[in-house]
Amino acid sequence: MAKHIYVEGIDELPVPNRKVEIVERKGIGHPDSVSDGIAESVSRALCKMYVKEFGHVLHHNTDETQIAAGRAHPKFGGGTIIDPSYILLVGRATTEVEVEKELKYLPCKPVALRAAKEYLDKTFPNLDVSSEVIMDARIGLGSDDLTGVYKASGYHANDTSFGVGYAPFSITDRLTLETEEFINGPLKKKMPETGQDVKVMASRIGKDVTLTVACAMVDKYLSDADAYKSAMVQLKDEVTDNALKIIGNEDINVNVDVNTGDDYSRNVYYLTVTGMSQEMGDDGSVGRGNRCNGLITPYRPMSMEATSGKNPITHIGKIYNVMSKLVAEEISKEIGPEAEIRVRLLSQIGKPISQPLNASIQVLAPGADEQKEISKWKSDAEGIMEHWLDNIDKVTELITTGKVRTF
């Protein structure tokens, strides 16, 4: 089978060695990330139902979840939700299957609504899903040309699209990702007043990194303005201490700024009822936030494809994005952390997923003797790419079991 793998050395400075780098992460409570999380939970629930009923996953894509913000009146000591936010589950699914000349109807919408509610209940403890969210499902039957890729021998791409990945993470990448995970993880035990809507933006100039953190604060845990201001001091200290642990022995200076939109002189505070900005002001859509590595990286190659919610069997926008990241990480471990690895995979609709039209691997390793080392890079990289393409079902398994992130 032709896999069309192309490996090249690039005479270009890796991003971590450049003067300027910007990295962003929208935390799990950002409306775009909430949309991603719901869409992916719905897809996994549909996969589970299809496997239970038929032994394999059927066609579906639930990557169009939309959130329309509600209205709230936060205040110190505890505020009120005035209008619930509205969540619309949109997509295509296999809703009926002919079994022995009779149609079997599948409860796709109830399954989707249940999965979305369970995700919200589990992830956002300050949100009352029964009263502070209105949820609707408009998931319809998929088109024949796309469902047909499931019926051919072997799975075929349901789109002409590409996936992108890179490795290894820079210290700026790690600071961005791990800062959000810290606030939405271990810090919650110390500071329950921090909400889940956390956005982290990192700017590195040379060896100086500035982390700008926006964190929605939950009003019921804060009695007054002084309590809020005290929480801001603690949040900055906690994030700074955690950042220093991430940096370790690296020659990097870090500065942390939190909730820079506050204006105490005008009584402007980032105060919320639920810890989520979707309660008032911010809408959300799948794919407008983090890529499947959990970051938004303007200095790295990225795909605009949404990963969350797409089916894990034939949708290139999901499979190739996840696999590109996995391939890049494995090649990076083989070649060494000093090189930057970029992977791009391009499909053609209707063609076998294991046979991309273009499997591009770029190695950025300044100072290397290209003539001497390119043959080893080529051999190692081709072997790793071939292995993943020959075992592409492993990517599907990692996705459906939740062992790889999609946002």
pLDDT tens track of the chain, all 407 residues?
Answer: 678 999 999 989 999 999 999 999 999 999 999 999 999 999 999 999 999 999 999 999 999 999 999 999 999 999 999 999 999 999 999 999 988 888 999 999 999 999 999 999 999 999 999 999 999 999 988 754 445 545 544 689 999 999 999 999 999 999 999 999 999 999 999 999 999 999 999 999 999 999 999 999 999 999 999 999 999 999 999 999 999 999 999 999 999 999 999 999 999 999 999 999 999 989 999 999 999 999 999 999 999 999 999 999 999 999 999 999 999 999 999 999 999 999 999 999 999 999 999 999 999 987 665 556 677 788 999 999 999 999 999 999 999 999 999 99
Name the residue range of residue 227's domain. Answer: 171-284
**212-to-187, 191, 236 alpha-carbon distances in Å:** 17, 19, 10
Give the domain-ending residue among 229, 257, 284: 284
Name every residue whose Cβ is closer than 8 Å to that of residue 50 and which is 6 or more positions away in sequence.
56, 57, 58, 60, 94, 106
Tell me: do 391 and 294 sit in the same domain. yes
**CA 376, CA 11: separation in Å to the nearest integer?**
17
Provide the CATH number for the domain around residue 66. Answer: 3.30.300.10
What pLDDT is stored for residue 375 in this prediction?
73
Judge whether 210 lies within some domain: yes
Provide the CATH number for the domain around residue 308. Answer: 3.30.300.280
Query: Among candidates 210, 278, 321, 320, which has minimal Cα distance to 69?
Result: 278
What pLDDT is stored for residue 366 in this prediction?
76
Characterize the bridge pairing of strands 271-272 and 208-218: parallel
Q: Is 374 helix (H, G, I), strand (E, B) or coil?
A: helix
Tell me: do 247 and 294 sit in the same domain. no
Q: Is 339 helix (H, G, I), strand (E, B) or coil?
A: coil
User: What is the token pair recorded at 231?
Assistant: 């929480």
The model's pTM: 0.94
**Domains held by the chain: number:** 3
Cβ 184 vs Cβ 198: under 8 Å = yes
What pLDDT is stored for residue 296 in this prediction?
98
Tell me: do 271 and 326 sit in the same domain. no
Tens digit of pLDDT for each residue in 58-102? Answer: 999 999 999 999 999 999 999 999 999 999 999 999 999 988 888
Query: Among candidates 118, 154, 169, 119, which has minimal Cα distance to 341?
Result: 169
Tell me: do 294 and 265 sit in the same domain. no
Judge whether 148 lies within some domain: no
Name every residue whose Cβ is closer than 8 Å to that of residue 352 and which is 6 or more positions away in sequence.
1, 154, 155, 156, 157
User: What is the token pair recorded at 262?
Assistant: 């506050």
What pLDDT is stored for residue 376 in this prediction?
76
Cβ 62 vs Cβ 42: under 8 Å = yes
3-state secondary structure string across 224-286: CHHHHHHHHHHHHHHHHHHHHHHHCCCCCEEEEEECCCCEHHHCECCEECCCCHHHCCCCEEC
User: What is the token pair recorded at 267?
Assistant: 């009584």
Judge whether 147 lies within some domain: no
What pLDDT is stored for residue 377 in this prediction?
83
Judge whether 26 lies within some domain: no
Judge whether 406 lies within some domain: no
Peptide bond preceding 337 in cis form (omega within 30 of 0): no
Query: Among candidates 168, 150, 258, 162, which has minimal Cα distance to 210?
Result: 258
Could you give phi then psi for residue 24, rounded to 5 degrees? Answer: -130, 150
What pLDDT is stored for residue 11 in this prediction?
87
What pLDDT is stored for residue 139 in this prediction?
94
Could you give phi then psi for residue 92, rounded to 5 degrees? Answer: -120, 150
Tell me: do 264 and 177 sit in the same domain. yes
Rg (CA), the chain: 23
Judge whether 268 lies within some domain: yes
Judge whether 79 lies within some domain: yes
Tell me: do 106 and 209 sit in the same domain. no
Residue 256 pairs in a beta bridge with 211
Give the orientation angle of helix 370-390 with respect to helix 316-335, to 10 degrees.
140
Tell me: do 187 and 163 sit in the same domain. no
Name every residue whose Cβ is closer than 8 Å to that of residue 146 and which is 6 or more positions away in sequence.
59, 92, 158
Tell me: do 53 and 133 sit in the same domain. yes
Tell me: do 165 and 299 sit in the same domain. yes
What pLDDT is stored for residue 145 in this prediction?
47
What pLDDT is stored for residue 144 in this prediction?
46
Tell me: do 293 and 390 sit in the same domain. yes
Query: Among candidates 341, 339, 337, 340, which has minimal Cα distance to 385?
Result: 341
What pLDDT is stored for residue 220 in this prediction?
98
**35-to-274, 275, 283, 287, 389 alpha-carbon distances in Å:** 16, 16, 10, 8, 30
Task: Give the burial class of 120: count Cβ atoms within 10 A of its Cβ; 0-12 exposed, 13-18 middle, 19 or more buried.
Answer: buried
Tell me: do 226 and 250 sit in the same domain. yes
Tell me: do 245 and 344 sit in the same domain. no
Give the domain-ending residue among 284, 317, 350: 284
Tens digit of pLDDT for each residue in 10-38? Answer: 989 999 999 999 999 999 999 999 999 99
Cβ 176 vs Cβ 202: under 8 Å = yes
Provide the CATH number for the domain around residue 209. Answer: 3.30.300.340
